[in-house]
């Protein structure tokens, strides 16, 4: 089953979910803002994405700009920040087994479905 880290208020997230549904795929929505991911879940997804925690941070988010921009933090510190501030997680993320992509642009999803 395909999973999507989904924010229903985000137009990009909604368009990716619609795309997956139109492909006839069974999709599990993970509403990470309602039920934040644990640090271990974040580590697991980062491995599937094959990126560093800082590369998963929404850098245009006001919270990032006011509290974290320019700070020299290690990966574990960024993982804790993402676990405690899920709105900083770049979305949408589509997970298929051991692979995951950030669905921006939407066509990146084709690499894992």
Helix spans in the chain (H): 11-22, 39-49, 62-63, 75-84
**Catalytic residue status for 16:** no
Out of 2, 3, 10, 36, the active site residue is 10
Q: Which of 111, 106, 99, 104 is nearest to 46 (CA)?
A: 99
Q: Please confirm whether the linkage preceding 105 is cis (ω < 30° from 0).
A: yes
Asked if residues 4 and 17 have their Cβ atoms less than 8 Å apart, the reply is yes
Q: Annotated catalytic sites, by residue? A: 10
């Amino acid at each position: 089953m395909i999973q999507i880290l989904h924010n229903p208020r985000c137009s990009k997230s909604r368009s990716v979910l619609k795309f997956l549904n139109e492909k006839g795929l069974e999709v599990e929505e993970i509403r990470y803002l309602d039920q934040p991911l644990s640090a271990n879940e974040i580590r697991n997804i980062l491995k599937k994405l094959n990126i560093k925690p800082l590369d998963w941070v929404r850098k245009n988010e006001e919270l990032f700009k006011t509290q974290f921009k320019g700070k020299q933090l290690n990966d574990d510190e960024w993982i804790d920040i993402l676990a405690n501030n899920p709105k900083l997680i770049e979305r949408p993320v589509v997970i298929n087994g051991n692979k995951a992509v950030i669905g921006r642009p939407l066509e990146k999803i084709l690499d894992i479905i």
